[in-house]
Amino acid sequence: GARFVHMMYCLARYVMIEVMKKLSVGTGIPFAKAVMWRPKHMYPAKVRHRVAYNKLLQILQQEDFLLKEYKKKAQ
């Protein structure tokens, strides 16, 4: 449901931030810290969040549909 999708989004965001932190070590690029900053104008940030969240939801729904179709054809 919606809680699972939200949890998966939070997990994906956390993993992305940790990978960026690991990759930016020693490069002099403070990119990982910039991800954690809060923007001055929250509306565009909320819009970007909603777009990313909806895209993840679409991908998960499509994957679920395909798995159901494969199971149906396998029977």
pLDDT of residue 31: 64
What is the distance between the alpha carbons of residues 66 and 37, in angstroms, rounded to a whole number?
A: 38
Domain count, the chain: 2
pLDDT of residue 48: 82
Q: Is 45 in the same domain as 20?
A: no
Residue 6's domain comprises 1-30
Q: Is 44 in the same domain as 67?
A: yes
Q: Is 1 in the same domain as 24?
A: yes
6-57 pLDDT tens trace: 888 888 888 887 877 777 666 666 665 666 666 677 788 788 888 888 888 8
pLDDT of residue 29: 61
Taking the complete model, does pTM exceed 0.85, yes or no? Answer: no
What is the distance between the alpha carbons of residues 15 and 23, in angstroms, rounded to a whole number?
A: 12
Q: Is 5 in the same domain as 24?
A: yes
Amino acid at 70: Y
Q: Is 24 in the same domain as 46?
A: no
| Pair 8, 57: CB distance under 8 Å | no
What is the distance between the alpha carbons of residues 29 and 46, in angstroms, rounded to a whole number?
A: 25
pLDDT of residue 69: 92
Q: What is the chain's Cα-based Rg?
A: 17
Q: Is 21 in the same domain as 44?
A: no
Residue closest to 49 by CA, chosen among 6, 17, 1, 2: 6
Better-predicted residue by pLDDT, 30 or 60: 60
Q: Is 43 in the same domain as 67?
A: yes
